[in-house]
Amino acid sequence: MYTYSMETTFFRLVYTFTVLLFLLCPMRIPRLSLRSRPGSATFRARYTDRDALEEQLSRLFPARSIRITYERGHFKCIMPRPLTPEEHHAIELAIATDHH
């Protein structure tokens, strides 16, 4: 018959507790989110205007934590914070001037 030392018994208990804890309470890995409530904006533009949009948004958010998707003539942007009306208007002007 094999007998365990006090240290071995302690480590086996810790291991068993850790495994049970992991199985009963699975770890929730947070998604890589920009913030709890990121801002979003939609801009009407052509697909070729993406460079102007990215340039303007990179000036506002230098960390480049921006997601831009194009769908049916509109760019949908998700950013760390909502844009102010002035910022939104400035981006629309930049797209319009780059467009022409």
**pLDDT tens string 48-97:** 888 888 888 888 888 767 888 888 888 898 888 888 889 889 888 888 88
43, 92 Cβ separation under 8 angstroms: yes
Banded model confidence at residue 36, pLDDT cuts 50, 70, 90: very low
**What's the distance, CA 9 to chain centroid?**
44
- Structure tokens, 97: 């001037």
Given a contact cutoff of 8 angstroms between Cβ atoms, the answer to whether 43 and 75 are in contact is yes
Please work out, in degrees rounded to the nearest 5, the angle formed at the alpha carbon of residue 51 by the alpha carbons of 67 and 63. 45
Considering the chain, what percentage of its residues have pLDDT values greater than 70?
A: 74
Q: What is the mean pLDDT of the chain?
A: 78
pTM of the predicted structure, to 2 decimals: 0.56
How many CB atoms lie under 10 A from the CB of residue 88? 14
